[in-house]
Amino acid sequence: MSKMDYELPADNDQIKKTSPHTRKAPYHYGWDWGPSFATCGIWQNVEVIAYDFFTINDVHVDQKEVHPHNAKIEINVDITSKVELEADLLIIEPKSKINISKSVNLKKGKNSFHRSIDIINPELWWPNGHGGQDMYEFEIHLKMDDCKDSKKVRIGLRDFKVQIEEDEYGNSFAFIVNGKPIFSKGANWIPGDSFTTRMTKDNYKTLLQNAVNANMNTVRVWGGGIYESEYFYDLCDELGLIVWQDFMFACSLYPEMMIFRKC
């Protein structure tokens, strides 16, 4: 907008100009569908993570290529170690009978390890109404003598593309899942309660199951709410719901400085 010589906020706005840049869920200040309750305080779990030698920070499964007869994936493991040492890294996935053991040398500080894996004849994940929601659970174990750490990650194997092509109306916009065009049917997901901490797992399950019962296959996480919990996204996987994820920058003016973008 600034490149087109528009002044923001506009000169005809005579009210006192204040900053809307607090990093808090905008809906807490009220919306056309909800009241204004600007809560404050700690609302998520606080953890102190202690370890003697090493800890697994994160496990990410990158789906490189997924086809009906073969899936190529890459397991990415991020580890922090207090000292240089040698440990055993174990990758297990029961359904595909994956059992990989590897000796790894950890340096002091942050470490990253990657392992490419082929899964033959994978059981694919499909959106609700188009097939099953088969899931794979990867277990990552790191061990040195009596010192050990582990993490699990559960995913559905699928090929997902957004197809944008010229057509008689202009440009198409379609989800292609496992090579099949999917007619997206869904709704806007806003936070389920004005007071975020009152949302329980049962509340999430009821609301998302209602979406499935209404033959939806997509939910769009609206950008004026919150980034939902891992439980929410895991439940969407289990129920066959595609998640269209907004960044939390809806319906307001936000700084354009690079330092803000990187926060």
- Residue type (1 letter), 117: I
How big is the chain, counted in residues? Answer: 263
Residue 254's pLDDT is what?
75
| Assigned token pair, 6 | 């528009």
Residue 8's pLDDT is what?
64
Pair 232, 203: CB distance under 8 Å: no
Say what the alpha-carbon torsion angle 99, 105, 111, 116 is, to the nearest 10 degrees.
Answer: -30
Helix intervals (H) in 104-217? 201-213
Pair 85, 100: CB distance under 8 Å: no
Query: What's the whole-model pTM score?
Result: 0.86
Cis check: omega of the bond before 9, within 30 degrees of 0? yes
Residue ranges of the domains in the chain?
54-155, 184-249
| Distance of alpha carbon 148 from alpha carbon 146, whole angstroms | 6
* pLDDT < 70 positions in the chain: 1-2, 4, 6-21, 263
Partner residues linked to 211 by β-bridges: none
What is residue 134's three-state secondary structure?
A: coil
Q: Which helix (H) or strand (E) holds 209?
A: helix 201-213
| Distance of alpha carbon 102 from alpha carbon 91, whole angstroms | 9
Residue 23's pLDDT is what?
77
| Distance of alpha carbon 214 from alpha carbon 235, whole angstroms | 16
- Residue type (1 letter), 256: E
CATH architecture observed for domain 54-155:
Sandwich (2.60)
Residue 2's pLDDT is what?
59
